[in-house]
Structure 1
Amino acid sequence: MTHHFDVLPGAEPFISEGGKTGILVSHGFTGTTQSMRPLAEAFANEGYSVYAPRLKGHGTHYEDMETSTYQDWIASVEEAYAWLSERCDKIFVAGLSMGGTLALYMAENHPEIVAISLINAAVEVPDMEGVKELQDVRFLDAIGSDIKKPGITELAYDKTPVASVKEILPFMDLVRKNLSAIHCPTLLFVSPEDHVVPPANSTFIFEHISSEEKDLIEMPDSYHVATLDHDQQRIIDGTLAFFRKYE
C-alpha cells in the first residue's frame, strides 16, 4: 500500500528561466527548497536561469522520504541540471548541507560545471554512524532548523528516517573518496558552531579538492541552516561575486 503525500506549501521546486548562465541550487537532508529559496530568488533577480529541485522524498512526509535512495536524490539534481543544460552555456551549483554533498557529486561527475558554492557541506557526520547498528527503530529525532537567528524556522521533517540515514552515509563516503576529481573554483561557507554537520567537513573538503581557486569563509553568526540565518545576505552576495568572476 503506497500513500500519496502532497507537497508541503513552501517545499515546491523553484524554477526561473533567465539568461544563458544557469545556477542549480540544492537543499539538504530532510529539508526543503524553503531553506534555499532566498538564494534562488536572488539569483533569478540577477537574470540567471535558476532551478532549485525538490529532492525526491523531501517536502512531503518523512514516510515518503523513508523509501527514497541517495540515487533518487542524485536523479532529482541531475534532472534540474539537464533542464539548465538545455538552456544555458554555463552552469554553477550552490548547495546547503547534503545539497553541498550533491554539489560536490555533480562537480566530480560533470567537469564542465564552472564553479560551486558550498554551505556547511557534509562528507562525514560521525554522529550518524551509530545508526548502522539500529534494529527495529524507524525514526529518529529531527535534525532541521538549526538556526541562531530568533523566530526563524526551517521547513523540515520533524522526524528523520533511519533508512534515510543509511542512504546518506554511503553517499557521503562516495563523494568524500572522490574529492580529488574536483578542479573547478570552489567557495566554501562554514559555520564554526554547527549542531548538525561538524565544521571540520569544510576544512577537509577544502584540503582534498584539486581546485586551484578556492576560498573558505567562516560564518560565526550562523548555525547549520546558514541560508536562513544571520549570514543569508553574506552567502548571497559572496556567491554572486564568486560566480561572476568565472562567467
Structure 2
Amino acid sequence: MPSTTGSATAPLRVDARPELTGDRRIAVLLSHGFTGSPASMRPWGEHLAELGYGVRAPLLPGHGTTWQDLNRHTWAQWTATIREVFEELSATHDAVVVGGLSMGGAQVLRLAADVGDRVAGVMVVNPAVSTLRRDVRLLPVLKHVVPSFPAIGNDIKKAGMDESGYQRTPLKAVHSMMRAWPQLIADLPQVTAPLVYFRSATDNVVDDSSEPIILGRVSSTDVTRVPLPESYHVATLDNDAPTIFARSAEFVARVTG
C-alpha cells in the first residue's frame, strides 16, 4: 500500500487494491469539517485503505494554513474541490462512496444531491446543515466588524487527540457556509443513495437541528442511524471511532457489492 505519511494536515491519497475487493476498483472520498483538516479523516481513511479501497481525503481550500486564509475562501470553492476529486475517482474506479464530518458531511450530501446515483453510498458523521444559535443572524454585519470568533474545533472526549484545526473561527467563511444551507436543504430530496448517519450523544459544535432535517428530507430508502454514545463532535478521532470504522467498512462493502 502506498505510504500515507506526511503532515497531519496533508491530503490523504491511497490507491485501490482490487485484489482485496473482488477485482473491482472501489474508492472512498472523505471530507473534513470546517476549520479542520484531513487529520480528522486520516485514521478512518487508513482503515478503509487497509481493506483495499482507494481513499482520498483532500485538504479543502483555506484549510491547513491560517484562519485568515480561510476567511478568503468560500463554500463554492470547497464544493468545487470535492466535485473535482469525485470526478477523478469516478473516471478510474468502478464505484465511489463518499463520507464527511460536520461541514464535510454537508459537502458530501451536496455532492450526492448533484450527481444522484453516481454515488454508491453516503456516510455522514455529525453533519451540519442548520443551527439553533441566534447570533448567526448577525453574521452579515459581524463579519465586517469582527474577523473571527473563538475556535469551534477539537471537540473530542478522548484525551490526547487533535484534529489539527484552527484556533479561531473566521466569520466570513462561516457565513459563506451557512448561506449555502437553505439551498442544500431544498435539494436533499435529490439524495437517493444509501445513507449511514453517525451521531454523537454529546456534540458541542453541531446541535440537534440538523438531524431531523436531513433524515426527514432525503429520498434514500436505505438509511441507517448509528449512535455514538462515547464521543463528542469529532467522533472520527474519539472513543467511538472503531464503531465508525467497522460500520462504514460494512456499509461500503454492501453498497458496492
Normalising by structure 1, we get a TM-score of: 0.93
What corresponds to 1:9 in structure 2?
7
CA distance in 2, matches of 1:119, 1:181: 20
What corresponds to 1:21 in structure 2?
26
Q: Which runs of 5+ in 1 are unaligned?
A: 1-7
Residue of structure 2 aligned with 1:85, choices 81, 86, 90: 90
What corresponds to 1:3 in structure 2?
none
Residue of structure 2 aligned with 1:204, choices 194, 213, 225: 213
- Does the C-alpha gap of structure 1 residues 11 and 163 become closer, same or farther in structure 2, counting only changes over 3 Å? same
What corresponds to 1:132 in structure 2?
140
What corresponds to 2:249 in structure 1?
240
CA distance in 2, matches of 1:78, 1:232: 26
CA distance in 2, matches of 1:133, 1:195: 25
CA distance in 2, matches of 1:206, 1:217: 13
Native 8 Å contact 2:155 2:233 kept in 1: yes
Q: Which runs of 5+ in 2 are unaligned?
A: 1-5, 19-24
Q: Which runs of 4+ in 1 moved over 3 A?
A: none
The count of residues paired between Structure 1 and Structure 2 equals 240
Native 8 Å contact 1:148 1:229 kept in 2: yes
- Does the C-alpha gap of structure 1 residues 129 and 191 become closer, same or farther in structure 2, counting only changes over 3 Å? farther
What corresponds to 2:104 in structure 1?
99
CA distance in 2, matches of 1:106, 1:10: 25
Percent pairwise identity: 34
Q: Tell me the amino acid that sits aligned with residue 26 of structure 1.
A: S
User: How big is the alpha-carbon RMSD for the aligned residues of Structure 1 and Structure 2?
Assistant: 1.3
SS of residue in 2 equivalent to 1:245? helix
What corresponds to 1:229 in structure 2?
238
SS of residue in 2 equivalent to 1:187? strand
Native 8 Å contact 1:179 1:205 kept in 2: yes
Normalising by structure 2, we get a TM-score of: 0.90
Q: Tell me the amino acid that sits aligned with residue 75 of structure 2.
A: Y
CA deviation digits over 1:97-138, x for unaligned, max 9? 000000100100111101111000011023244323414111
